[in-house]
Amino acid sequence: MSTYLDEDAGAIRSALDPDAEPPPNSEYLFVLYAVLMRTKGQDVTHSDVHDAWAAWMQLTSPEHQAIKPFEQLEGDVQREDEPYVKAIRRAAKSREEGRRR
């Protein structure tokens, strides 16, 4: 059974740049991104996206070296969140525009 969060996760995945390569088995990660979209909308930050990823990674690979606060990451690692920030913002904007119609 698909839920509203699954639908929002699908919208975010659809808004992702074609060049982005989500990690394998990332369905739950996109559900976390859906929660961000519903709570933060277009105001979602790179740090927010990283925190969601870190929560997901804690469950899937708890020894990953990037499970630390966003501010402690190297710039190139921080930039890895960019496609997901953009996708969440695009999906949020589309959702908001759909409500106005």
Q: What does the pLDDT look like over 31-44, one tens digit per residue?
A: 999 999 999 999 99
Mean pLDDT over 46-73 rounds to 97
Its pTM stands at 0.94
**Domain range holding 60?**
4-17+28-100
| Domain-embedded: residue 22 | no
Number of structural domains the chain divides into:
1
Is the predicted pLDDT of residue 60 greater than 80, yes or no? yes
The CA distance from 29 to 68, in Å, is 17
pLDDT for residue 1: 84
Residue 48 lies in a domain: yes
Average pLDDT, integer, range 15-29: 95
Residue 23 included in any domain: no
Tell me if 74 is assigned to some domain.
yes
Q: What is the DSSP string of 22-51?
A: PPTT-HHHHHHHHHHHHHHGGG--HHHHHH
Query: Is residue 81 a part of any domain in this protein?
Result: yes
Question: What percentage of the chain reaches a pLDDT higher than 90?
Answer: 92
